[in-house]
Amino acid sequence: MLMFSMYPDAKIIYREYVQNAFDSINKAVSEGVLSKVKDGIVSIKIDNLGRNIHIKDNGAGLGVDYALNVLTSIADSQKDGIEQAGVYGIGRLVGAGYCKVLEFRTSAKGEASASVIKFDVDKTRTILDNDNDRRSATEVIDSIVDFDIIDEEADAHYFEVILHNVEDEYPILLSEVDIIEYLKEVAPIDYEMPFKNNIMYDSIEADSEFDKLQNGLKYIKLSVNGYPDIRKRYGNRILGTNDEIHGLQYFKLEDQIYGLLAWGWFAITKFTKAIPSSDPNRGIRLRKHNIQVGEGNYLNDFFDETRGNNYFYGEIHAVHENLKPNTSRAGLTPTVEATVLFKKLNEYFKQLKFIYNLANKAKTAARDITAAKAKIQKGNLSESEQKDVQATLASGQKKLESATRSVESQSVSQNAEATQKILALYQQEIEKAASETGVAESLSATTEAVETTSTSTSQTETQETQQKQEKDTSIQPGTDIFQPWANKYDKKAIWLARRIFKSLSDNCPQGSLDLIEDLKKLVIKELS
């Protein structure tokens, strides 16, 4: 089972061996062999022609007195799953299912020797295929293992895994490009510097709880075939949609009984559409000890809509000591704390559903205003076309008002800052479209009365004015240039000021619109 039946995806052996290397590096730090985890180095060499794989770390290694016993014992791990990423002590043999000989080389600092242990995988297969061979697992291991001690420098400390003669049916294991991309996704490595410096650090308040949690993550340096310092592939944009990342929203998942279960972040964008499956970063990922748990879609089922996770980039870091990956690291072991975490995830993901629905409201509002802009720029509009423009503006205004009310209702949410930022991004787009067409005031004053006017050709100017006075009295917080007057003048006075400036804009030469805008700002400032 351990050699041939553990994992459905061959690439997972890289995660297992990197995880073991990570633990060995942490041990080296605790023993003073390394000064910090970031000094830990895991180098992977993929020899495509020779069909060999080498995975070597500069961790604590194993002394010659312990190596044979540790590496041939099954499920005899001293790891607790709390300080170490490993738990069960069974992952070291997983490479055997993909090669003909599995070799371990290791040395501990201060010893002028190294241990070499080889597992004859072909011989193992022969034994397993023989129904008449009734030897115990211990006897089989004794018969397939070759042990040797060789000379080594006393200062050397390392652990190396070598897969000799990788089986032909697993070409993916020898694909440098595929393995690098896989490790960028699952390994305990750092973030790309542009993402880290320009987005991550700008999103965290210095010395805050999230600052300490984020900086408390441990990273190793990882290289493949000389490709140095592989890092998580997050950048300044969402690859699959080209949406710019405007910051990160941090959050916590806590319980009154069990305390802090997990914390995480997701990227704030305009969420223009779901991220396609071609984007390898898609989805909020679960990690423990900064190593991914499960596939990228593991958390999809905790959303009310499976597609919900497809709108996000993000990470959730499980921190409670009783949240442990299962033997295949495909998910968490079924503990009480895991059950509570899953419930908290479902509750929190409802808030994330609100976020991408909010973005959709704001996006359609921006679409309506942009459509009106395109019609206005055509010029020489007929009476019916003018009415269509007014109706489109009214539709955009209604959707914007709905989005604004939604954001205000989330003022106590963990994601309040994110929702405000998303709405502001679309408001900027709307204001730009409105200002470019000279309909900024028309947009601000657009209400149901305007829509009613567009469907009734017999309505007089007086009736229109009266309806606007009755209905167009709303001021949008954070988006309305007349906002400073909200608590100073009554709504009808503000409506009248809007009408005056709209009339000036409508009747002045195109080249003077900027002057009207400047005068409007000056008047608003002076009368505030």
pLDDT of residue 447: 33
pLDDT band at 456 (very low <50, low <70, confident <90, very high): very low
* Coil, helix or strand at residue 432: helix
Is the pLDDT at 1 greater than 60? The verdict is yes
Higher-confidence residue of 527 and 406: namely 527
Assess contact for 108 and 63: CB atoms under 8 A. Answer: yes
What pTM was computed for the model? 0.77
Looking at residue 148, the DSSP 8-state letter turns out to be E
Is the pLDDT at 465 greater than 70? The verdict is no
pLDDT of residue 385: 72
Contacts of 29 (CB under 8 A, 6+ apart): 35, 36, 37, 39, 40
Pairwise CA distance, residues 24 & 20, whole Å = 6
Average pLDDT over residues 267-279: 95
Q: What is the CATH number of domain 12-189?
A: 3.30.565.10
* Coil, helix or strand at residue 433: helix
Is the pLDDT at 27 greater than 90? The verdict is yes
pLDDT band at 93 (very low <50, low <70, confident <90, very high): confident
Is the pLDDT at 315 greater than 90? The verdict is yes
pLDDT of residue 437: 53
Is the pLDDT at 152 greater than 70? The verdict is yes
Q: What is the pLDDT of residues 34-55, one digit of tens each?
A: 999 999 999 999 999 999 999 9
Pairwise CA distance, residues 297 & 331, whole Å = 11
pLDDT of residue 409: 76
Contacts of 372 (CB under 8 A, 6+ apart): 389, 392, 393, 396, 433, 437, 439
Q: What are phi and psi of 484, to 5 degrees?
A: -60, -20
What is the token pair recorded at 120? 């004859």
pLDDT band at 450 (very low <50, low <70, confident <90, very high): very low
What is the token pair recorded at 296? 């990228």
* Coil, helix or strand at residue 527: coil
pLDDT of residue 5: 58
Q: Is 270 exposed, middle or buried (0-12, 13-18, 19+ CB in 10 A)?
A: buried
Which H or E element spans position 389? helix 383-409
Contacts of 393 (CB under 8 A, 6+ apart): 368, 369, 372, 439, 442, 443, 446, 450
Which of 68-77, 214-223, 324-333 has the highest mean predicted lDDT (pLDDT)? Answer: 214-223
Average pLDDT over residues 408-421: 82
Q: What are phi and psi of 454, to 5 degrees?
A: -70, -20
Is the pLDDT at 268 greater than 70? The verdict is yes
What is the token pair recorded at 253? 């998942």
Which of 250-264, 463-477, 508-522 has the highest mean predicted lDDT (pLDDT)? Answer: 250-264
Average pLDDT over residues 416-438: 79
How much of the chain, in percent, has pLDDT values that exceed 90? Answer: 53
Pairwise CA distance, residues 256 & 156, whole Å = 48
Pairwise CA distance, residues 175 & 160, whole Å = 20
The strands making up 259-267's β-sheet, listed across from edge to edge, are 248-255, 259-267, 313-318, 283-288, 291-292
Looking at residue 244, the DSSP 8-state letter turns out to be B
pLDDT of residue 398: 80
Q: What is the pLDDT of residues 354-399, one digit of tens each?
A: 999 889 988 888 888 777 777 776 667 777 777 777 777 777 778 7
Assess contact for 292 and 286: CB atoms under 8 A. Answer: yes
CB 435: neighbour CB atoms within 10 A? Answer: 15
Contacts of 49 (CB under 8 A, 6+ apart): none
Q: What angle do CA 395, 399, 405 make, to 5 degrees?
A: 145
Q: What is the pLDDT of residues 198-233, one digit of tens each?
A: 999 999 998 999 999 999 999 999 999 989 899 999
Average pLDDT over residues 450-460: 33
What is the domain partition of the chain in residue ranges? 12-189, 237-454, 480-528
pLDDT of residue 402: 81
pLDDT of residue 327: 81
pLDDT band at 528 (very low <50, low <70, confident <90, very high): confident
Among 65-74, 216-225, 447-456, the minimum mean pLDDT is found in: 447-456
How much of the chain, in percent, has pLDDT values that exceed 70? Answer: 84
What is the token pair recorded at 63? 């002394």
Q: What are phi and psi of 267, to 5 degrees?
A: -80, 135
Buried b (16+ CB within 10 A) or exposed e, 158-175: bbbbbbbebeeebeebbe
Pairwise CA distance, residues 14 & 179, whole Å = 8
Q: Mean pLDDT score of the chain, rounded to an integer?
A: 84
Pairwise CA distance, residues 9 & 172, whole Å = 10
Contacts of 142 (CB under 8 A, 6+ apart): 72
Higher-confidence residue of 88 and 244: namely 244
What is the token pair recorded at 5? 């039946």
pLDDT of residue 136: 86
Average pLDDT over residues 424-432: 82
* Coil, helix or strand at residue 297: coil
Pairwise CA distance, residues 293 & 328, whole Å = 9
Pairwise CA distance, residues 351 & 447, whole Å = 29
Among 211-225, 338-352, 444-458, the minimum mean pLDDT is found in: 444-458
pLDDT of residue 184: 96
